[in-house]
Amino acid sequence: MILTIDIGNTVITVGTVSKTGTHFVEHISTDVKKTDLEYAIAFRTILELYEIPSHPLTGSIISSVVPPLTAVVNRALTKIIGKPALVVGPGVKTGLPIKIDNPAQLGSDMVVNAVAAVAEYPLPLLLIDMGTATTLSVIDESGAYLGGSILPGAGIALDSLVKRTAQLPRISFDAPEKAIAKNTVDSMKCGIVYGSSAMLDGMIDRMEQELGKSLFALATGDLAKAVIPYCTHKIQYDEMLPLKGLYRIYMKNRTDGSC
């Protein structure tokens, strides 16, 4: 069993995975001010909540889009497991062909998700990750990463709307009953939820038209749960996708026989 850590700009996703599957997934807030000890305590607490002692953990792996935190979290994992984590980056085997102008620029989170998606879902595929940013990645029939799009996330859009207007309140991500809303809160919910779903539908249409073929649509990321039910396209949701991708990369790079 290994501990998987996906460091995003807003949340850190934590889980344990073994050859029998993913055991849990939890999220804690990303905070660059925390020390390695504070993160070690947070990870240990999560493991204790799920009654997973640290001694069955044979290793750990990190994917990070927050460079200042990578070493901090690695030290935290070393305190818990007794050895450093594998960090997804240059030199780490992924098995994913990347057909973009500069493959080194592809974020480790997008690589991790793509590795899991290729292994578990039909191709060609459109992979949607709705986190701080919303990313759309296209993977062809051979399992190669072709490219995609990066858009402001729904959370960022809402934060900007609230901060830059004097009278608009902070709202939840619930969808209102109607698209033609009758009050300010429901109007904002329409824009965020229905607007985000319409954006995804439009991007899927445009990408399928460009490729000349249909794409299997797959989504991950916490905000996707609130948006994809309102898309006209069928989009499958997989909350565990990043953890499964991390596990597969770990297994490709292991040198001690751990699983």
Q: Is 174 considered catalytic here?
A: no
Residue entry with tokens 């700009």: 9
Angle between helices 36-49 and 67-81 (to 10 degrees): 60
Distances in Å between the Cα of 70 and the Cα atoms of 9, 86, 187 are 12, 11, 39
Q: Is residue 14 a contact partner of residue 26, using CB atoms and an 8 Å limit?
A: yes
Q: Which two tokens stand for residue 53?
A: 């002692």
Cβ neighbours of residue 216 under 8 Å, at least 6 residues apart?
Answer: 121, 122, 123, 124, 125, 126, 236
Going by their DSSP bridges, the two strands 11-18 and 21-29 should be labelled as: antiparallel
Q: Is residue 88 a contact partner of residue 249, using CB atoms and an 8 Å limit?
A: yes
- Candidate list 31, 101, 109, 238, residue with the active-site label: 109
Active site residues: 109
